[in-house]
Structure 1
Amino acid sequence: MFKKFLYHRSLNSALLELGIETEELNPAFRDEVMDVALREHFTPKEAALSVLTLVYPSLSLVDRLRTIQVVRRWRSSSQVSEANYRHTQNGSLAFERSPSGHHS
C-alpha cells in the first residue's frame, strides 16, 4: 500500500515535469496507467512517458517542444531504460480508459 502511494506521488511528479496536469487526467485512466506500469515494472517516469504518448497530439507546440527536452534528459538517466522507453512508445500498451478527464 505504501509502495503504491509513493509510486503515485512519483508518477504525478513526473507528469507535472512533462507539463501534464494530473487533475486534467481521467482518474480511472491514471489508476489504470499505474496498474499497468507496476505490472510492467516501469519506473514512474516510464509510466509518465506512456501517458505522454497518448496526450501528445493535444499539446500545444510550445508544450511539445518542452516535453522533448524533458524526455531527452530522462532518457540519458538511469530512470528510463531504452527497452522500456521503446515499449511505452510503440503503442503496444492498450488502455481501456481515455486520458481526458472529460470522458470515461
Structure 2
Amino acid sequence: MADNTLAHRAQHATTTEAVHLPPTAAPTNHGKTLAAWVTCWTIVIGGTLAGLAVAFALVWGFWVGIGICVAGIIAGLVLKGMGYGQGGAETIKRQKANGGH
C-alpha cells in the first residue's frame, strides 16, 4: 500500500507547477491616468448618491446617481480617446515630464 499521507506528499512532490508570465511588462503608471481617475471618482460619487437615494426612498435620486455613473463612464472613454488613458499620447508625455511616473 502506498504512503499517501500529507507529510509524504510534501516531501515527494510528483507534479511541477508551470509559471505563466505576462507577455510584456505592465505600464509604470499602474492605471493612475486622468481618464482612470475621472471615471473612478464619478462612479463613486454617482454610486454613493444612488445608494443614499435607495436608503431614503428617493426614486429620482437613484436615477440621478445612475446617470452620474453613466456620465462618468462616457467621460472616461472620451478622455481615453483623447490620449489621457493607459498608453495614450498625453499620458506618455506626462510620464516623460515627471520622470516616468
Query: What's the TM-score, normalizing by structure 2?
Result: 0.29
- Of structures 1 and 2, the larger Rg is shown by 2
Query: What's the TM-score, normalizing by structure 1?
Result: 0.29
Which structure has the highest helix share of the two? 1
